[in-house]
Amino acid sequence: MIFSAVSKERFVRYRANRRAWWSLWILSIAYGLSLLSPWLVNDRPLVLSFDGKLAFPAFSFYADRDFGGTYGTEANYPELLDSAHRAQHSIWTLNPPIAQDPLRADLSAAGEPPYAPSAKHWLGTDAHGRDLLARLIHGFRICMSFSLILTLLSTLFGVAIGALQGYLGGKFDIFLQRGIEIWASLPFLYVVILVASLYGHGFWLLLGIMTVFSWIGLSYYMRGEFLRLRDVTYVRAAKVLGFGHLHIIFREILPNALNPVVTLFPFALIGGITSLTSLDFLGFGLQPPTPSWGDLMAQGLANLFAPWIALSTSIALFITLLLATFIGEGVRDAMDPKSGDRYE
């Protein structure tokens, strides 16, 4: 795909903004690593050798029975490691870097959870005894994935609908715009609560409902861009040259109308993260025990005497949103040719 000189110039400008450039790298690498969290942050060993037999618990299912137990359910690896020595089996494991399961409650310590940070649980545990660091990392993965997919889908719908409105104009535009305004005035939170209580709190269901409301903002921008570009000289020239509507929309106007899309993307991402976290905080989001930052925030608030919960979640959220904001500002500055004092 050829990038026009305009795009290349913007990319160079973005890269020159060191803060934005590094934020992009850090966030991308963090997200990339978090995608590996089911294997890297788990109490299932990567490689396990039990009485000379090799097993890969992180990648496949092994029943308790396979390791000398009585049940057909999945083996409990921390217990296995403890009991194996007593039962005199030879056992050797290669553990993931953070060997904690976000879903397993560890009540072995004295007293009641939440437990303070210790050598075993580096950031402590939450109110149910689950490792906080593992929950934070898995929560990051879920949160970012949710937000990314949400932003991508709402961008797609927003662009398509806004483009149609702007290009066709006239009565179609007016009627659709009134319809969108009515849609936008629906109380989004109540709809989410309603649908979630009727149909459950699944990841994809939540994603679906939020997508259906979040494309509206971008469609306003795209409508404006298409209305403006419809009359620009090279589009009129394209009509005279014999190009059809589809070509004009996709090859002439759209590539030049993507300014708002690119600029809004990071901020939409932030919006998505915040929305999901807020919903989870209120209890209307993802189903527990799914690791989520909102849920941790709620627990943190309820357990202020255990400050490690609230503190670590807040800091994680703050850093993520800060990095995303730097990226967004970098994109906005790169796209705007008049930002600053350069003579071109």
Partner 1 sequence: MSASSQSPLLQVHDLSVWYPAGKAWVKAVRNVDFEIMPGEIVAIVGESGCGKTTLASALVGLRDWRSGELILDGNALDPRQAKTWKQLRTQVQMVFQDPFSSLNPRQTLSEILLGPQRANGISGSAAQIRAIEALEQVGLCATDLNKFPHAFSGGQRQRIGIARALALKTRLLVCDEPTSALDVSVQAQILLLLQDLRKRLGLSILLISHDLAVVRALADRVMVMYLGSVVEEIPAAQLFSCARHPYTRALLASVPTLRIGSPPQLLVGEIPSLTQLPSGCVFASRCAIARPQCKLAEPIFEKVAPNCRVRCPYHGDLA
Partner 2 sequence: MSDASLLQVEGMSVAFRAGSGDWIAVTEDVSFSIARGEVFALVGESGCGKSVTAMGLVGLLPTPGAQVLAGRALLDGEDLLTTTKDRLCAIRGHQVCVIFQEPAAALNPVRTILSQLREVCPDQERIESMMVRAGFSDRTRVLKSFPHELSGGMLQRVMIVMALLPGPQLLIADEPTTALDVTVQAQVMEILKQMCKETGTGLLLITHNLGLVAQYADRVAVMYAGRMVESATVAQLLAKPCHPYTLGLIRAVPEGHDSVDSLQPIAGTVPRPAEFDCGCRFRNRCPHADALCIAKPLPQDVEFGHVVSCVHWRAIR
Residues that bind partner 2 (CB under 8 A): 340-344
Task: Determine if 245 is a binding residue for partner 1 (CB under 8 A).
Answer: no
| Residue from 101, 126, 252, 280 in contact with partner 1 (CB under 8 A) | 252
Of the pair 178, 239, the CB lying nearest partner 1 is at 239
CA angle 124, 126, 132 (to 5 degrees): 55
Longest Cα–Cα distance in the chain: 86
Residue 232 contacts which entry, partner 2, partner 1, none (Cβ below 5-8 A, type-dependent): partner 1
User: What is the Cα 43 distance to its own chain's centre?
Assistant: 24
CB 151 within 8 A of CB 268: yes
Residues sharing a CB contact under 8 Å with residue 270, sequence separation 6 or more, in sequence order:
321, 324, 325, 328
Query: In this chain, which of 1, 54, 240, 304 binds partner 1, going by CB under 8 A?
Result: 240
To partner 1, the closest distance from the beta carbon of 304 in angstroms equals: 55
> What torsion, rounded to 10 degrees, do the Cα atoms 99, 114, 61, 73 define?
150
Contact 146, 276 (CB under 8 A): yes
Nearest residue (CB) to partner 1, 85 versus 236: 236
For 323, other C-beta atoms within 10 Å of its C-beta total 22
Shortest distance, position 341 Cβ to partner 2, whole Å? 4
In angstroms, give the least distance from the CB of 332 to partner 1.
Answer: 20
- Decide: is 250 part of the binding site for partner 1 (CB under 8 A): no
Looking at 132-140, 179-187, 226-234, 272-280, which segment touches partner 1 (CB under 8 A)? 226-234
Residue numbers of the site for partner 1 (CB under 8 A)?
2, 4-7, 232-234, 236-244, 247, 251-252, 255-256
